[in-house]
């Protein structure tokens, strides 16, 4: 397994601010390292990215969206995302954001589309 596969086989949950990343000889902040990793992945032929609205509190989708918007490369990628049964714990009406009812799925997907700064995703699970 090469570097690209090692980082992306488990999805973009590694791209978030839970920790900073040591890259070769220096520490870089998590957002900057996420962009560096995405650039490396794309430059080496990667095009399938698996993420979810709850990875690192939503930062994974947010940063991926920022990266795609800056590079104008959304149409070159295959984006898979997942909806979670409980992604908004501070909501007044929690039922709308938990479990598997249609409303929860629709709200979750709408949130993902906003975060990813795109009008579509290729795969939802």
Which residue is catalytic, options 22, 55, 95, 120?
55
- Rounded CA gap, 25 and 14, in Å? 19
Whether 55 is catalytic is yes
Maximum alpha-carbon separation in the chain: 48
Q: Are 58 and 16 in contact (CB under 8 A)?
A: no
**Residues with active-site annotation:** 55
């Amino acid at each position: 397994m090469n570097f690209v596969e090692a980082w992306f086989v488990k999805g973009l949950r590694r791209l978030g601010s839970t920790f900073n990343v040591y890259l070769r000889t220096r520490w870089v902040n998590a957002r900057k390292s996420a962009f560096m990793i995405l650039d490396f992945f794309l430059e080496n032929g990667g095009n399938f990215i698996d993420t979810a609205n709850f990875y690192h509190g939503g930062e994974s989708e947010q940063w991926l969206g920022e990266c795609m918007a800056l590079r104008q490369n959304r149409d070159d990628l295959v984006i898979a995302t997942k909806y979670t049964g409980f992604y908004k714990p501070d909501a007044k009406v929690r039922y709308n954001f938990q479990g598997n009812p249609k409303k929860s799925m629709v709200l979750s997907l709408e949130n993902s589309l906003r975060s990813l700064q795109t009008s579509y995703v290729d795969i939802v699970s």
